[in-house]
Amino acid sequence: MENIILYLCSCLSCFIIVTILYGFMDERYNRTFANKYIYIGIELGMTFGIAVVNLFHNEILNITTWIVGVGFAAYVLYYEDFVKPVKRVLECEISMGVISICESLGVGLTDWLLELLDIEIKADTMLVCLETAFSKIIMIFLYFMAVDKLMKKRPAPFTKLQYVFNCIILGYTFIDIIVIVDNMNNRPNNYFLVLNLGCIVLADLFMLYFIKVMNEKSFLEYEVKSMEKQADLQYKYYVRQEQKYNKTLGLLHDINRHIKSIEQLYLNGDTKAAVEYTKQISGMLQPLITVKYTRNPILDILLADYLSVMGERQIDFDIQVDNVKMDFMDAMDITTIFGNLLDNAMEACDNIDNDKKIFLKIGAYHEMISIRIENNCTAVKWKNGVPVSEKGQNHGMGLLNVKRSIEKYDGSIKLKEEDKKFIVDIFLNS
């Protein structure tokens, strides 16, 4: 019976490690085969096969088996586009090494706690099962709370709620293990306690993985909404360009009539009316003329559009641009950064009754480009250094898109409020 217990204990240990390793590879690489049953079969084969190897208590054989198994899985079962497989295999072997270190820490911590609390587990089989279970719990928590975040290419941010849930689960697990250890001393041959330990380990694995998946799902949903926000901004920009284009076509279509009308007024000697007509035509053409602010045509068009829009909304828009080159910026990043920030500034001005002003300054700071946007505003609510909007939890995604675009240029952004003014300072590496 003891041999069966030890083998099942070894199977549980291998199952946890294999599950974590294949989860790591699934998130980081592409699967070579479409049939999922191939992967399920290989995972189960590795679990039961390495569990048998563990029973020989040969560390060199055990380590060799793990290295070969992980290397085979990384080389054959997964791939990366345009990346050599050696890098992938090394990453997986390093990941396995980190997991082994976490497991060893768990075993050492188990023995230390038993010695500290002066607890002696009389049955060797029970002690092995306790060390295995506790080490796997420590390994699972260390992996999901730290290692996984460091090794993933693009980890989802770890929320405070996720930390709270993980700590609650860990505390509950410790209480259960203390109760089980106490029972092990009183009933050393009660193998239902071992079964209980295995269920606790599997439950912890499932719960932490479930919390991780739900957190990543929420993060991806937030990213999708931020992309929709960005798409909406781009759509509004192109709509304004289409409106300007249609207006230009309308003027060009009627230009001959206007010229003939002005010519006829001059021929009739009505110079005053001709001059007035000319001023009207000039006023109609003025909004269609793009001012050369930055020598970046996209940014110049965008600023001209916002100047026109703010004029309609009775907002004083002051633009000051030094002799700087902005041609290093991508068109999408220009509309993302300036579009979102100027939209936010206009929304803030809409909430005040008078003195609606927005100030934009673009200049040079050493070898960087400095951008400052100021707007008059009411009192701003802050949370974790970020302004909180009253438009709901999904509002503010534009700022997330702005930060992403700024990071492409090794830049930084600072937000602050001074004297009823909201100020945004941006530095970009040109």
Residue bearing tokens 């970009």? 428
Interval 170-180: pLDDT, tens: 889 988 888 88
Contact in structure between 106 and 116 (CB atoms under 8 Å)? no
Provide the pairing of β-strand 368-376 with 421-429.
Answer: antiparallel
Is residue 412 assigned to a domain? yes
In the listed set 147, 182, 210, which residue is the last one of a domain according to the structure?
A: 210
Interval 196-241: pLDDT, tens: 889 999 999 898 888 888 887 877 777 777 777 777 777 777 776 6
Same domain, 205 and 309: no
pLDDT higher than 80, residue 385 = no
Number of H helices, E strands in the chain: 13, 9
By C-alpha distance, which of 238, 408, 412 is closest to 328?
408
Is residue 240 assigned to a domain? no
Structure tokens given for 239: 């709509």
Q: How many domains does the chain have?
A: 2
Same domain, 64 and 187: yes
386 pLDDT band, cuts 50/70/90, is confident
Same domain, 23 and 142: yes
User: What residues contact 378, with CB distance under 8 A and at least 6 apart?
Assistant: 348, 351, 352, 420
Same domain, 59 and 191: yes
Provide the pairing of β-strand 368-376 with 357-365.
Answer: antiparallel
Question: How many Cβ atoms are within 10 Å of 138's Cβ, its own excluded?
Answer: 21
Same domain, 175 and 74: yes
Residue bearing tokens 């060893």? 104
Is residue 60 assigned to a domain? yes
Helix or strand (DSSP H, E) at 280: helix 271-285
Same domain, 304 and 186: no
Is residue 276 assigned to a domain? no
Helix or strand (DSSP H, E) at 365: strand 357-365
Same domain, 193 and 314: no
Interval 26-43: pLDDT, tens: 888 999 999 999 999 999
Same domain, 300 and 181: no
Same domain, 204 and 294: no
Is residue 271 assigned to a domain? no
Is residue 62 assigned to a domain? yes
- Residue 298 sits in a domain of what CATH number? 3.30.565.10
Q: What's residue 251's pLDDT?
A: 67
Q: What's residue 290's pLDDT?
A: 59
Task: Kindly calculate the radius of gyration of the chain based on its CA atoms and give it in whole angstroms.
Answer: 33
- Tell me how far the alpha carbon of residue 344 is from its chain's centroid: 22
Is residue 263 assigned to a domain? no
Task: Report the DSSP beta bridge partners of residue 370.
Answer: 363, 427
Q: What's residue 332's pLDDT?
A: 84
Same domain, 12 and 148: yes
Contact in structure between 112 and 156 (CB atoms under 8 Å)? no
pTM above the 0.75 mark? no
Is residue 389 assigned to a domain? yes
Provide the residue range defining the domain that includes 206.
2-155+170-210
